[in-house]
Chains A and B, each alone.
Chain A
Amino acid sequence: MHILANPARFLSLARPATPWLGWAGALLVAVAVVSGLLVTPQDYLQGQSVRIMYVHVPAAWLGMAGWSGLAVASLMQLVWRHPLAAVAARAIAVPGALFTAICLATGSIWGRPTWGTWWGWDGRLTSMLVLLFLYIAYIALAGASSERGGSSRVAAIFGLVGAVNLPVIHYSVLWWRTLHQGQSITLTKSTIDSSILWPLPVALLGFTLLFAAIVLMRMRALLAQAKVEARLKRMAHD
């Protein structure tokens, strides 16, 4: 962790890692999507619509994992003043919001044929929508506070506060059993048949690698932007 405190050293690792992560993720996603659409059988109850799972579940996982990473980065920024933590948190926010939105959209499309409704005020759906609003608020707050110069810690405080929503999302299917199903997959067993299930871990890994590549790209862009601004300031002084 502290090895990466030097931006130059971080960049020397991040630059070669970005294409590897990106292409590996794209390949895995392609494999999962093609086999999910063409190879796996349809569900006996849901028919073809079960295939939405291969996008919906990874998007939900990344939406939540995104805020978890954002909260950890915020904690590192507040406690250890890690210089790259603020950059990492900011870089995670936009793809995190995007995947949360994808999760909500695919869930809505999936809900129409299976539940008979686009949207219901179920605990899981509501808490996920709140997560999207939190992401948007974080992006706005981080944008406004970075205008004040440097990496302000205000956004990091909000990132930590917003993390209270994560356990609510996780346990929402247990607390309010209204519409969204409970957990089908745990580490040891799954209530989904393996003939349908197998592309899902491939898609999970693929989307996660893609997410990591996007975060690294955005971190590099943010660092480059900071460098440009510093150089402009120096030139203005000369």
Chain B
Amino acid sequence: MRLLGQILWRDLRHAYAGGGSGGGALLPLIFFLLVATLFPFAIGPDAALLAKAGGGALWMAALLAALLPVDRLIAPDAGAGVLDQLAVRGIAEEAVAGAKLLAHWLGFGPPLMLAAIPAAGLLKLDGATLLRLEAGLALGTPGLAALALGTSALTLGLRGAGALAGLVMLPLAVPILIFGAGALGDQGAGALKLLAAASLLLVAGAPFAAGAALRAARE
């Protein structure tokens, strides 16, 4: 248990201190804001149109930002032999994956929710929509983090892992996107519940899928 706490702490330190094996929590954020900036260039600066489409665009940006760190989540630790050391000490891969999932979400979810505030300003979202977006992100980002972790375990050590990760992760992220964007409307309460359900399912399943994939990658 103490060791799992140490994994968590170490991954978090890497995420917030930049550098190291985590790749930094800042990079996905800047990417997220960059996509939010590009969107008005693509569809034009009309405020009404932006306010209508902006919430969904931010969900797309969040999805792409979640995909960005996939190749750095597990591969550096696997390459350095850290995962083998943990296995030798008899710690289940599922537990390691769970600790890494929590660390990844802490480095990804809350900063993304903060970054959504200036992004909402860029896209002319009103306060109520921003509130619903933040609620959706609070429920949806754990699911996205779980998907990212599972994908990075599945594609670990494969040639072209980056391109494969997008192919593997994006179809599975469709429910999060549908319910997340659905929760932005006025009658979003039902979609918010479904978003929470999808997210919960992903968080519950990801450590087991990732653990099995880590074991499979070792063979």
Contacts and interface: CB of A to CB of B under 8 A. Distances in A.
Interface of A: 78, 126, 130, 133-134, 136-137, 140-141, 144-145, 147-148, 150, 152-154, 157-158, 161-162, 164
Contacts of B161: 144
A141 B153 CA distance: 12
Contact of A137 (B171, B201, B216): B171
A133 B170 CA distance: 9
Contacts of B219: 150, 152-153
- Give the secondary structure class of B's interface: helix
Interface in B65-81: none
A120 to B, nearest CB: 15
A164 B176 CA distance: 14
Given A154-B216, A157-B212, A145 B171 contact: no
A157 B164 contact: no
A158 B168 contact: yes
Contact of B158 (A78, A134, A148, A161): A148
Contact of A134 (B157, B159, B171): B171
Given A148-B157, A157-B213, 14 more contacts: A130-B174, A133-B171, A134-B172, A136-B167, A141-B158, A144-B160, A144-B161, A152-B217, A154-B213, A158-B168, A161-B172, A161-B209, A162-B171, A164-B201
B210 to A, nearest CB: 9
Interface in B178-219: 178, 201, 205, 209, 212-213, 216-217, 219
Given A148-B158, A153-B216, A157-B216, A141 B174 contact: no
Q: Which of A78, A130, A161 counts the most chain B CB atoms within 10 A?
A: A161
Given A141-B154, A141-B164, A152 B171 contact: no
Contacts of A145: 158
B141 interface: no
Nearest to B172: A161
B154 A154 contact: yes
A126 B154 contact: no
Given A126-B174, A144-B160, A152-B216, A157 B167 contact: no
